[in-house]
Structure 1
């Protein structure tokens, strides 16, 4: 198998966004239930912080493997960069929940979930852009750069007997 076939293909923007919604949205919905459950034992901000850390690690792995076509595990650099956008998402969800508490004296669980999920969705769109343009962009560019030289070298090199048999 040559280098061009072994490199993962980066999906287009629409496919990547669909995968992002499935992976990140699934983790986000599970996170909303986890935050609600933990908030009955811990202060809400602490529950949100714990769930944000765990869900960010999980989502970054899913995005590296499936969403952005990196084809493998996320690197520490990618996890670190992803954590920055997760910190912003944490601030947005905390701000939204704080605003809800200021505007509504005793919000019900359904309203709290609606506000939390809406804030998560808005910050999720921003996260998609950051992850696609910054965090996983270099991996795609590096993969493309690795493919081109290997392909050029392959085309210039004479075929081996095994390659001639395989092509027949």
Structure 2
């Protein structure tokens, strides 16, 4: 019974986190799509996408640390670095999608560009959610580390009966 309840809570937690991820990340992504379009009228599209990706990744990582995954504060440098790695993959996905569109359609309209860009972003976003939840903001790491730190040593009698005595025994046990 306890396992089924914990599994149900984990599923509910995953859906709630995904909803917050869509709200925070999707909001930033939607704003980013308009920012890319506006910048691309002045500079090359790939450069506009790169600039917007950097800024939006920093903003989204902070939002995810504070709200989506409940990390309890600002994102750490490690979390920003790991998030940047997943954003680099998302950047590559959007670039490939847009380059493919331009190979298939000579002069795509703004609406088609938005559809392709947002579709590629959504696909990359689902993969990013998994990476952020399972790696970047994983809570089990801190629980595992706490368990290791608070583990109690074996009683002396149990240790002395199972471990060889003398310096050679100490080396083998280490």
TM-score, normalised with respect to structure 1? 0.78
What's the CA shift for 1:51? 0.2
- Provide the secondary structure at the position in 2 that maps to 1:73: coil
CA distance in 1, matches of 2:88, 2:103: 22
Q: Is the 8 A contact 1:64 1:70 kept in 2?
A: yes
> What are the superposed Cα offsets for residues 81-128 of structure 1, whole Å, 9 maximum, x if unpaired?
000100000000000000000000100000000000000000000000
What's the CA shift for 1:146? 5.5
What's the CA shift for 1:145? 6.3
**Count of residue pairs brought into register by the alignment:** 139
Q: What does 1:61-72 align with in structure 2 at a 5 Å threshold? A: 61-72=62-73
Which is greater in Rg? 2
In the other structure, the counterpart of 1:130 is: 131
Q: Which runs of 5+ in 2 are unaligned?
A: 1-9, 151-174
Q: Which runs of 5+ in 1 are unaligned?
A: 1-9, 151-168
What's the CA shift for 1:143? 5.8
- Provide the secondary structure at the position in 2 that maps to 1:71: coil
Is residue 75 of structure 1 aligned with residue 76 of structure 2? yes
Q: Is the 8 A contact 1:35 1:48 kept in 2?
A: yes
CA distance in 2, matches of 1:52, 1:35: 9
CA RMSD across the alignment: 2.0
In the other structure, the counterpart of 1:142 is: 142
What's the CA shift for 1:144? 8.0
TM-score, normalised with respect to structure 2? 0.75
Which stretch shows the higher mean deviation, 11-20 or 107-116? 11-20
**Larger RCO, structures 1/2 (Cα 8 Å, 6+ apart):** 1
In the other structure, the counterpart of 1:109 is: 110
In the other structure, the counterpart of 2:30 is: 29
